[in-house]
Homo-oligomer: A and B are copies of this chain.
């Protein structure tokens, strides 16, 4: 299973990142190959795990998700047990879209989405603050998003 990406592979990845539902026929045209080898390359990229999955991106405003925030979380101690306890709880909250372990002042940073301020407050009070190992929370409310690219730059 080749983990070496040539120019064509990178082009495929770039195109599939920006249009995940392109047909194989059209993709093959854009990269200048016939459909068969194009599909073979895509399949290899999928099987090797380089392409993990495909997703539809929704308009958050139109589905009534008006409030997005980043939340910096500090735990009551940084031992393994506390971290695992925290992650276990966090994974059950579907409004928590992302959870990253970070360096710096806090221990974790979360991205959270909710319908409005009221439901956000309720969510934080009843679910997040409620986690025993959580010490402090600092919320950064997103006023507007200017860039949310789904196309990562591929080095090499």
Contacts and interface: CB of A to CB of B under 8 A. Distances in A.
A115 B156 CA distance: 9
Nearest to A145: B100
B20 A153 contact: no
Contact of A103 (B5, B13, B60, B141): B141
A151 to B, nearest CB: 8
Contacts of A80: none
A102 B54 contact: no
Contact of A54 (B57, B94, B151, B154): B57
A48 interface: yes
Contacts of A79: none
Contacts of A96: 147, 149
B109 A152 contact: no
Contact of A17 (B19, B56, B99, B101): B56
A7 interface: no
Contacts of A60: 152
11 contacts: A19-B55, A21-B21, A21-B54, A53-B150, A54-B55, A55-B151, A63-B152, A64-B154, A94-B153, A98-B145, A100-B143
